[in-house]
Amino acid sequence: MRKTMSYLYKLAFTDLCTGLSNRNAYEEKMQRLRKGQEKFKDLQIVFIDVDNMKFINDTYGHYAGDEVIKMVGKCIRKAFDKKDFCARYGGDEFICMVNGGVRDKIAEFYRLLRQEKYSISYPLDVSLGTTEYQIINDKGIDDMVKRCNENMRKEKKEKGAKQSDKII
């Protein structure tokens, strides 16, 4: 029975495509943060969005799109620690919550992503936004997530990358 419950929990909170936490796990994490069960004042957030995902799906097929999602997930799993919370937020978006030291992890993520690009014949790039707790502006974790998402969207817009159709 215990093994079955563990398996069902894993199914409910793991993204099957990437092996990362899924949106259910993200919502559960957010509830703990909102209730003060976990502290967020030292938290740094990273929002990652695959650029031109609709173009990849439409031009190379959904199999290629799935491969891109898997590659990005693999790079996230390798670059971030197990103690960091990383999830597939939805569609081609990912979120990572880290207690300090995020710059080195982002650099490693980009290094790994550059390596992965060599194994595919279609364009692969991401837009990334980061933020940390701002005592003056942030009333809670939701303010941080919103600002991080806005930072990522700003980078995407500056690069001229097209917004993907979201599955949320």
pLDDT, tens digit, for every residue of 127-166? 999 999 888 888 889 999 999 999 999 999 998 866 544 4
* Helix 62-79 vs helix 102-117: crossing angle, to nearest 10: 140
Active site residues: 92
Q: In what order do the strands lie in the sheet with 85-90?
A: 85-90, 93-99, 43-50, 126-132
> Between residues 123 and 165, which one has the greater pLDDT?
123
Helix (H, G, I), strand (E, B) or coil at 11: helix
The pLDDT-based confidence of 77 (bands split at 50, 70, 90) is very high
Whether the predicted pLDDT of 105 surpasses 90: yes
Q: What is the mean pLDDT of residues 72-76?
A: 97
Look at the block and give the residue holding tokens 């940390």: 132
Helix (H) or strand (E) holding 130: strand 126-132
Query: For residues 1 and 53, is the Cβ–Cβ distance under 8 A?
Result: no
Whether the predicted pLDDT of 167 surpasses 80: no
Q: What is the mean pLDDT of residues 16-27?
A: 96
> Model confidence over 83-94: pLDDT tens digits?
999 999 999 999
Query: For residues 47 and 149, is the Cβ–Cβ distance under 8 A?
Result: yes
> Between residues 3 and 102, which one has the greater pLDDT?
102
pLDDT of amino acid 1: 72
> Model confidence over 49-67: pLDDT tens digits?
999 999 999 999 999 999 9
Beta bridge partners of 85: 97
What mean pLDDT is reported for the chain?
A: 89
